[in-house]
């Protein structure tokens, strides 16, 4: 599995685990909802800064968005 796919799967997992909609996560991270959607659909790849921002909004470590264990 490629890292972009792992990240997308983990982002969706943690978002739904936290009971957040894409819009709620986007608001918490200060980004547009369509960007969250594009990340989850693997249309874009996230920068390290964005991975950190999303992890903070989700309350997880940035590494949790990049590990292949699901």
pLDDT in tens, the chain (70 residues): 899 999 999 999 999 999 999 999 999 999 999 999 999 999 999 999 999 999 999 999 999 999 997 5
pLDDT score of 7: 98
Of the candidates 50, 51, 23, the one whose C-alpha atom is nearest the C-alpha of residue 37 is 23
Helices 48-58 and 3-17: angle between axes, nearest 10 degrees: 20
pLDDT score of 69: 77
Whole-angstrom CA distances from 25 to 1, 2, 69 are 25, 24, 22
Q: Which domains does the chain have, with CATH numbers?
A: 3-64 (1.10.260.40)
Q: How many helices (H) and strands (E) are present in the chain, helices listed first?
A: 4, 0
């Amino acid at each position: 599995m490629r890292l972009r796919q792992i990240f997308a799967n983990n982002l969706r997992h943690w978002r739904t685990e936290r009971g957040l909609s894409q819009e709620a996560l986007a608001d918490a991270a200060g980004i547009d909802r369509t960007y969250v959607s594009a990340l989850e659909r693997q249309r874009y790849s996230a920068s390290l800064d964005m991975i950190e921002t999303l992890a903070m909004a989700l309350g997880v470590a940035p590494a949790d968005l990049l590990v292949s264990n699901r």
